Amino acid sequence: MTKRRPAAQWLTIAEAAARLRVSTKTIRRYIDAGRLEVSRVGPKMIRIDVADLDALIVPIPAAPRPGRRALREPQNADGG
């Protein structure tokens, strides 16, 4: 039995750009660089799966607030 992928939600380049709050040129650059997979549904129509678009979003760790020190591992008496 083959696993079925859930039905994809498709976006145009303009919709993808609006979702990420970037320009359409940026989306096209991601496509050209191979960072974003797309499907062609016609000679000029490109569609982007929402799951592929969301995969571009990578959380970064939050920086410590000003005036606070970052948490550190306790050091031994010998400095190691």
Considering the entire predicted model, what is its pTM? 0.66
Domain of residue 40, residue span: 10-55
pLDDT at 49: 96
Q: What angle do CA 48, 49, 52 make, to 5 degrees?
A: 100
Indicate the residue type of 17.
A
Asked if residue 41 is part of any domain, the answer here is yes
Number of domains the chain contains: 1
Asked if residue 76 is part of any domain, the answer here is no
Asked if residue 65 is part of any domain, the answer here is no
Asked if residue 50 is part of any domain, the answer here is yes
Half-sphere exposure of 27 (CA within 13 A, CB side): 23
pLDDT tens by residue, the chain, 80 residues: 555 556 679 999 999 999 999 999 999 999 999 999 999 998 989 999 999 999 999 888 887 777 766 566 666 666 55
Those residues whose C-beta lies under 8 Å from the C-beta of residue 49, and which sit 6 or more positions away, are 8, 9, 10, 11, 37, 39
Asked if residue 23 is part of any domain, the answer here is yes
